[in-house]
Copies of this chain bind each other. A is one copy, B any other.
Amino acid sequence: MPHFLSVRDVPDLPQFLAEARAVKQTPFAWSHLGRHKTLGLIFMNPSLRTRLSTQRAAQNLGLNCMVLNTDKDSWKMATGEGVVMNGDAAEHIKDAVAVMGQYCEILGVRSFPMLVNREEDYAENTLHDFVRYAGVPIVSLESATRHPLQSAADLITIEQYKTKPRPKVVLTWAPHPRALPQAVPNSFAEWMLAAGLDLTIAHPEGYELDTQFTAGATLTHDQDAAFRGADFIYAKNWSSYHDEYGHILSRDKNWMITPAKMQLTNNAKFMHCLPVRRNVVVADAVLDGPNSIIIPQAANRVVAAQVVLKRLLEQI
């Protein structure tokens, strides 16, 4: 059964990017594919871009869409084997997922890490329960450790704006008042590297990501050095992966992206997955400046979701 959980589900990235260009040019050319089919979107956490862009992608494909917010529309779910359900949870996820798989041809699910126990988060139990029990293709709408629809849109955006075959792409940590998941940087790194781009990751000491995602990238604690010669700056906060998992190790304001820092680059385009904390992660002048491509990047979320859904529809 085909799924879309990580870049490993796209072994043919050049073909994927070619399809993205085609979808962008003629978004309604595949509107017959979704006929009489339904996509179920399960949100265990709030969502704006993913929620709306995936619905729009489905509409472009003629695919019906149903949205379920499990924290509000239904009830708490139990997980794990053999549990005696005499507590809060009214339903086991294995039953709920199996049922939803009966009502939909494709399911999308968003779940988040708790940022308390690294092994639990990185086991991706919720996502894997969907894969195990649904009986239909699963699309990750962001999971505990990856956000592949975001990364696909990021790659499509870089392909659209790059002016050389192998641009220098810099993923830089930036400060944030809350402890955030590593899903976006993990996923961004593995997509950039799978696409063969020149990736540098800059972050303060202690913020090293899991090497399963970053092997092949240049790692540095010197943000300025990283920015020199960069063609794309991708800013994102994340919390600690190795020591004190899920904690904030630094609030260093010197890591905020400013016009002065962007001056160090090769006239780099600025990217962020959004939502972004203005003047904390990045200065207004960068976000609103001529090199900011955050809005076309967000627009490409529809393109990415549409290529993914189109491919799954073509296989079922």
Would you give the shortest CB distance from A255 to chain B, in whole angstroms?
14
Residue of B nearest to A84 (CB): B279
Also in contact, A277 and B55, with CB within 8 A (given A60-B36, A295-B102, A302-B102) = no
| Least distance between A298 CB and chain B CB atoms (Å) | 4
Interface contact A295-B98, CB-CB below 8 Å: yes
Binds B, one of A2-10, A42-50, A140-148, A225-233: A42-50
Interface string of A74-92 (1 = CB under 8 A from B): 1100100111111100111
Main secondary structure of the interface of A (DSSP, over half): mixed
By size class, the interface of chain A is 35 or more
Residues A23-67 near B (CB distance < 8 A): 27-28, 31, 36, 38, 40, 43, 46-49, 51-53, 55-56, 59-60, 64, 66
Residue A18 at the chain B interface, CB threshold 8 Å: no
Out of B72, B85, B96, B284, name the residue touching A280 (CB < 8 Å): B85
Residues of A within 8 A of B (CB): 27-28, 31, 36, 38, 40, 43, 46-49, 51-53, 55-56, 59-60, 64, 66, 68-69, 72-75, 78, 81-87, 90-92, 95-96, 98-100, 102-104, 177, 274-280, 284, 287, 294-295, 298-299, 302
A–B complex contacts, Cβ < 8 Å, 17 sampled: A40-B52, A43-B73, A46-B72, A46-B75, A48-B73, A48-B74, A51-B73, A51-B74, A56-B66, A59-B64, A69-B72, A84-B278, A85-B279, A91-B275, A95-B274, A95-B278, A99-B299
